[in-house]
Every structure is written in structure tokens, then in C-alpha cells.
Structure 1
Amino acid sequence: MGQLKNKKVFITGAEQGIGFHTAKTLIEAGCDIYIHYFSGTEGPEELVALAKSLGQRAEFGYANLTDRDETTQCVNDAAEFLGGIDILINNVGGIIARKWLGEIEPDYWQTVIDVNMTTMLNVTQSALPYLKAASDGASIVNLASLAGRSGGHAGSLSYSMTKGAVLTWTRSLSAELGEFGIRVNAVAPGLILGTRFHNQHTTQASADETVKGIPLGRAGTSEDVARAITFLASEYDGFISGATLDINGGVYRM
């Protein structure tokens, strides 16, 4: 595994949950980091303080990543602060709401696509020149979902579709960017409790029922996912590319 000390990371949506704990783990591994946020600064402020206490560099900035110009500005600010970008973590995404097929309106459909896919396009395009310039190779890690593998629960049709697209995006991008020494991988978490996603959209009864079907007998944590992302991020000079790492306690086996 590559050494992460002094590597330059740009991560999206690191206010809480998986994004927050991934940023924390990367900081503890020695990275300098720029933290994108959309809905609150408490988490990013805590992460910046942690980095500074360890003698590392960290900053945070706001952007609506569905807006191309705001995204480009945020990524450029990150690259200027860090002196480049070696590692990109595309963490932003969400289910928006549970809607069954007959309830899906055009505006909702487009919003789910924009939040889960357009953001990833805007960020990755904006970061590409900096990733290409990384001297030892670069690493992109995209956040997918078990829903993109299995189709998800009822009411998550639109979300599951976009997360399946993230898996294909990852495979295609790895083929396209390999010549530049850029590795592209994804993680596909299953039931990860304690995140805004599940706090808003998963009932306790549903979570309990899902846990019954997990071979390891528990839900996952944000830290479980953060460790996996950190491993893939460290492969900036490695040979893993186009892969998806499933983090679901054994529910989905492939």
C-alpha cells in the first residue's frame, strides 16, 4: 500500500457520516486535505482543527456541485491551497426521497440524477488537469452503493439506478484515464447506520429487518467504509483500477 503522508486530497460532502470519517482517516494517515461542504461547517471545522493539531494542512469550502461554475471554482481553490490534487474522493450523493414508480415526477428524477451523477461529472472534470499532473500517479474513489448492485429496497428506484451508473462510470473511467496513471475505483456500502442518509430515510424497523439478513450480524459504520476508501486512495501508484469494493457484511457476494 502506498504511503499517504503529504498526499493532497480533495473530498466532497465531508460534513458528516462517511465523508467526515473518510476525511478524518485520511488526515490521520498523513494527508493534506481540502474539504468540500454543502450543508454545514461544524464537521469541516473539526477536521481542520484535527489536521492542524497533527501539523498538516486542511481547509474547507462551499459549493453546489450541481452547478458547473461553482464546482470548478471549488476544485481550483482546493488545488491552489494544496498545491495540486493526488487523490479525489467523490462522496456526494443521496436518495432525496423514497418514491415508487408511479410517484416519480420529472423534477425529482432529474434531481436524483444531478445529485448522484452530475456532481461526479462536474468534480472529476474539474479535477482532471490536476490529477494528470500528479507526479506519482493519482487515485479517484467514487461512492456507489449496494443498491447499485442489488436494485435496493422498494421506493429507491431512481437512487439505485444512479448508483448502478456510478459503478459503470468507475469501470469506464478507469479504462479512459489509465494511460495518465490515474486509478479509478469505487466502494459500494450496504447498511451503514448513523449517517444522515439512514437517519432520514430508514426506519428502525427496516434497519432491524435488514440486519437479520447480514451474515456478520450487524450494520456497518462510517468508519468501516472510511478504511476501505483510504486503502483504495493509497493505491495512487498501485495496480487496482476499475474495481468496486463491496462493504456490506456479506449480504452481497460476488
Structure 2
Amino acid sequence: MPRSVLVTGGTSGIGRAVAERFTADGAGVVITGRREHLVESVAKELGAVGVVCDAADPRAVEALAARFDTLDVLVNAAGGLGAAQPGPEAAELEAVLAHWRADLDGNLLSAVLTTTALKPVLAPGGTALAVGTIGSERRGGSYGAAKAALAAWYAMLSAELGPRGVTANVIAPGYIAGTGFFQGAMTDVREQALIAETHTKRAGTPRDIAETVFFLASAGARHITGQTIHVDGGAFTTR
């Protein structure tokens, strides 16, 4: 029987690559996003089911979860740099608060809400995965802090789901080219500096992350859980 897979933020970048990898394997894939037209068009291109859902909205997440009787793979790929737009009259601390809330909502609470809602239907042998960031280790600001908290929460989630035969891991990419993450702010100088930090001397790609997700959801990864897997070409090394 084909596996059931849910990819939040599956309309672009890493999320889309993950959805494409699972559909190529014959899985039944559901992707989510916030823009209806984009969700519909990408779902049609991939041969997936598209659902409009703001993963930081509890009611929207509840409606999403109600679609599933069972789920084999949950991938929380929704997120990115917060898009808070405090008014011009906002005080400094109000602007800081708006920025942090946007990053926490988009990168931490969205995954917590979605995973909490779907936990009851995760099947034995299944997996819950989330996309973190190298920014949790250095210079990540509010975005990196939100992703670091996500990794801490997933470590707890792993202990909770493990007795049910469900794994839980975070994948922390380094610089990934070909996404809209930097919102047009990437410069050639910055890009070359990020590539120079790697041991492989190349930028990562969405497919690099998608293949790691696919492996962690495979039979060969059933004893890997509670981990943050760094996929960054050696830009951040662990021991």
C-alpha cells in the first residue's frame, strides 16, 4: 500500500522538493501552503493533493488533521524569515516583539501545532520530520532561535513517539540555493562566502534535503531518532 505523506510548505523550495521525491516513489502526498492559487497549481504539477492551510492557525490545522485517518510521514517544511510589518509609529520594543513573534509563529509554533494535531494518526513505522537551520548554531537571530527551540521540542517528541515505533528528527540545512529564503537579498559576495565555508565548495540544493528526508523515512533509518541531522557540506561540523 502506498505511504501517506504530508508536507507543510510544499509549494516551493525544500518543501516542494520533498513532495516531489515522495510522489516519485508512488506515495500519496498532501502539500499545504497559504496561497490558494499556488497550492492548486503545484499540487497539479506534482500529482499531489493540495490543501490551503496556515500552519500557525489552530483551526486551520485542526481542519487539516481531520483529513487523515492514518499518516506515515509528516514533514514540517513550512517556515522562513518572518514577515512582520510593524507600523511606522511602532516603538523599538514593539517592532522587536513583532519580528520575534513572526519567526516563532512561522518556524516553531506552526510545526508544534501541526505535529500535535497529527500525532494520534502517525502510523507505527512512521516518522515526523522538521526542517531546521544551520542558523541555530550561529548568527541566526530570532529565526535561528525559533529553529533551535524546534530541535529541542523534537528531542522530547522522539521520546514520546518512540514506544509507538515512530521516529522524530530535525534536518538542519546550510546554505541552499534555488529557494526564496533570502527574499532577493542575497548578493554574490555573500553567496561566495557561504559556499567557501563548506568542505564541498558548493551550495546545497533542495534535492539534497529531500533525499535526506526520504532516507530518514526509510526502513534503513528506523533506529535514528531524536537527532538534528546537519546537511550543510561541512559548514558546521559536530563530533
**C-alpha deviation, 1:73, in angstroms:** 0.3
Does the 8 Å CA contact 1:11/1:89 hold for their aligned counterparts? yes
Q: Output the CA distance in 1 between the equivalents of 2:196 and 2:32.
A: 36
1:182–1:236 Cα contact (<8 Å) kept: no
Q: TM-score, normalised by structure 1?
A: 0.83
Match of 2:166 in 1: 182
Residues 31, 39 of structure 2: 8 Å contact kept = no
Measured at CA, do residues 204 and 192 of structure 1 come closer, stay the same or move farther in structure 2, by a change above 3 Å?
same
Residues 181/44 of structure 1: CA separation in 2 closer, same or farther (3 Å cut): farther
Question: Map of 1:128-147 to 2, 5 A cutoff?
Answer: 128-131=119-122, 134=123, 136-147=124-135
Q: Return closer, same or farther for 1:199/1:76 CA change in 2, 3 Å cut-off.
A: same
Counterpart of 1:54 in structure 2 is: none
Quick one: structure 1 residues 116 and 125, their matched pair in 2 at CA, closer, same or farther if it must change by over 3 Å? same
Is the Cα–Cα contact under 8 Å of residues 15 and 44 in structure 1 kept in the other structure? no
Q: Tell me the residue number matched to 1:32.
A: 28
Q: Is the 8 A contact 1:7 1:31 kept in 2?
A: yes
Residue equivalent to 1:88: 74
Cα offsets for 1:137-171 (capped at 9, x unmatched): 210011100111x223xxx4101111111111121
**Matched residue type, 2:117:** S
Structure 2: tracts of 5 or more residues without a match: 85-91
Among 193, 201, 220, the alignment partner of 2:177 is: 193
Given the alignment of the two structures, is residue 151 of structure 1 paired with residue 141 of structure 2, yes or no? no
Contact 1:183 1:235 in 2 (8 A): no
| Alignment check: 8 A CA contact 2:168 2:225 kept | yes
In structure 1, what is the Cα distance between the partners aligned to 2:44 and 2:217? 20
CA contact (8 A) 1:171 1:243 kept: yes
**2: CA distance, partners of 1:120 / 1:248:** 22
Aligned to 1:107: 98
Contact 1:220 1:248 in 2 (8 A): yes
Aligned counterpart, 1:55: none
Residue number among 9, 17, 21 corresponding to 1:13 in the alignment: 9
Give me the whole-angstrom Cα distance separating, in 1, the residues matched to 2:168 and 2:107: 17
Q: 1:215 to 1:38 in 2, by over 3 A?
A: same
Per the TM alignment, residue 243 of structure 1 is displaced from its structure 2 partner at its CA by 1.5
Amino acid at match of 2:62: T
CA contact (8 A) 2:6 2:30 kept: yes
C-alpha root-mean-square deviation of aligned residues, in Å? 2.1
Matches within 5 A, 1:13-92: 13-39=9-35, 41-42=37-38, 45-51=41-47, 58-77=48-67, 79=68, 83-92=69-78
Counterpart-to-counterpart distance in 2, 1:236 and 1:37: 30
Q: 1: distance between equivalents of 2:221 and 2:186?
A: 38
Q: How far apart, CA to CA, are the structure 2 residues paired with 1:49 and 1:23?
A: 11
Provide Cα deviations, 1:207-246, integer angstroms capped at 9, x if missing partner: 1121122111111111111111111122498111112221
Identity of aligned residues (%): 27
Q: Say how many residue pairs are matched.
A: 230
Matched residue, 1:248: 232
Matched, 1:170 2:154: yes
Aligned residue type for 1:18:
I
Distance in 2 (CA, whole Å) between partners of 1:174 and 1:89 is 14
Q: Do the aligned residues in 2 keep the contact of 1:97 with 1:201 (CA within 8 Å)?
A: no
